[in-house]
Amino acid sequence: MNDRRRLILLCVITLLPVGFAAAENCLEVVADLSHPYSIGWGIDQANHRLQHDTQISRDNVGSLELAWVYGLSSDKPRSWPLVTKDTIFIGDTGNGVVALDRDTGRSPHEGEIGSAILMGKVNDQEVLIYTDRSAGLFAVDARDGKPIWHGQVDDQPVPLYSGTPLIHEDLVLVPISSAEIGLPLNPFYGCCTTSGGMAALSLADGQTRWFRPTIQTPPVRTGGHWLLVDEYGPSGAPVWGSPTLDRNRGLIYFGTGQNYSQPTTDTSDAIFAVEVQTGEVRWHRQFTSGDAYNLACDVSSDHPNCPKPSGPDVDFGAPPVLVRSQKGEDLVIAGQKSGEVHAMRPEDGALVWSTRVGRGGALGGVHWGLAANEALGLVFVPISDVAARSGPGAPRPGLFALDIATGEIRWERSRTARCADRVCAPGLSAAITATRDLVFAGSLDGFLEAYDANTGEVLWRHDAWRGYAAINGVPAEGGAFDAHGPMIAGDQLIISSGYNTFGQKGGNALVAFRLPGSAP
């Protein structure tokens, strides 16, 4: 009899005299929080997005079958699950954090959970760490969802906690972007004064240990527009993606976005290396200069708050990946919305190689995340190439495998539009996830596919552009795959389908696939 069955039996015996109320408490104890399948947004802290802990392989992926669907409450779900031995934690906007397979873990927090969910330990007790996009960082008891602390960064007036934090020792490293990307839509807003940054909060109590703004120069008035509103700069350089940990060097790496106003800085569209304990900048390297943009430019380039000149909005949304090449050389590899992938030396940021893969644009190029397989010497690059402030040339939506050491394209798998019954956007915007011999990617036109990591051959496909019968009774609809992408855990593949933030097809289906014959 295994431990779980022993606990259930113990609960049943205990239940007899103490009644139904005790039953709930007992079931809470049964939830097994051991064996988490990820320790960060990148599954590992180097952001490889490579799942070793799975039975899904090239040989059996073709038999993956739909196991169950959970109906989420948002049609643009933006949370990534944490999977433990027997529990799946997922942010379900409106319902807070829910723990599937058990009724425990329901949090009283009901904001827009914008990140993956992490697990850490406070006073020997497992806590879930996640962000609400506007309200900050939350730590809740993993067993019952009770709040432990709520942290915010006070250094900026309108921070957005959009990226997934990273837990390292007693710190929670939190990427900070800013609502100022959208506030300039209001022509009466004096654009712009905030800086993106990286914050380190105490895992024990959520207090800020350090905050490193990506723009050190204080903003000053730079002029005014015809509505008699003052203009300010520099601003922007937000951090949208999770940091990447380099344990050996004591560094974290992260990418920044564009400036929100003129003048621009040399820290926008850049990769930073920062000392993890102090927040001191070791180096930063800019890849696109002069990129000033905010959402007012999407209304019109004549909008009074659109910077003049405005830029292409080609930030680094995807976290960098720290890899070791087959020659034993460490590299920081970063994919940019420009459609380029860059490799740098971790010591000083010196450029080793740079490869243009896609046409690029405001929605990628590389949008959410790469994956890497050091054993194969490959970094996998999903290209969106949605038409939005696009770069030059023809779009190249699809999946590419680049040689880690040289940046040469080893294979590519273009995706073509299927316009008859769906939005003509075949690209890969969502982050991807790899295994030892596979790469899983969800497309904007609703296909979830498994590629052979060695050749790019598509070995399995699921069309999510459909309705599902959900286990929780909520009408569930699939749609575009975007945002955090697939999670692989043991014999399971879990992914949210639907995301209508930028005109894609919305949906609310959390879909789980499983190898046949494996235990639930």
Q: Which residues bind another protein (CB under 8 A)?
A: 157-158, 179-180, 183, 186, 188-190, 192-194, 227-230
Q: How far is the CB of 108 from another protein (least distance, A)?
A: 20
Asked if 289 and 266 count as a contact pair (C-beta separation under 8 A), the reply is yes
Provide Rg for the chain, Cα atoms.
22
Two tokens, residue 428 = 């890969």
Q: Which is nearer to another protein, 182 or 250 (CB)?
A: 182
Q: How far is the CB of 151 from another protein (least distance, A)?
A: 16
Q: Which is nearer to another protein, 42 or 304 (CB)?
A: 304
Q: How far is the CB of 360 from another protein (least distance, A)?
A: 30
Q: Which is nearer to another protein, 82 or 160 (CB)?
A: 160
Q: How far is the CB of 315 from another protein (least distance, A)?
A: 20
Asked if 191 and 294 count as a contact pair (C-beta separation under 8 A), the reply is yes
Q: How far is the CB of 174 from another protein (least distance, A)?
A: 18
d(CA 314, CA 287): 9
Give DSSP secondary structure letters for 438-459. Answer: EEEEE-TTSEEEEEETTT--EE
Q: How far is the CB of 189 from another protein (least distance, A)?
A: 6
Cα separations in angstroms, 291 against 182, 234, 362, 422: 16, 12, 11, 33
Nearest to 331 by CA among 316, 317, 318, 341: 341
Q: How far is the CB of 509 from another protein (least distance, A)?
A: 25
Asked if 137 and 127 count as a contact pair (C-beta separation under 8 A), the reply is no
d(CA 19, CA 411): 61
Nearest to 259 by CA among 321, 217, 205, 229: 217
Q: Which is nearer to another protein, 157 or 475 (CB)?
A: 157
Give DSSP secondary structure letters for 120-141. Answer: EEETTEEEEEEEETTTEEEEEE
Two tokens, residue 192 = 């712009």
Q: Which is nearer to another protein, 306 or 470 (CB)?
A: 306
Nearest to 234 by CA among 214, 220, 254: 220
Q: Which is nearer to another protein, 20 or 188 (CB)?
A: 188
Find residue 201's DSSP bridge partners: 172, 208
Q: Which is nearer to another protein, 179 or 409 (CB)?
A: 179
Q: Which is nearer to another protein, 223 or 516 (CB)?
A: 223
Q: How far is the CB of 198 from another protein (least distance, A)?
A: 19
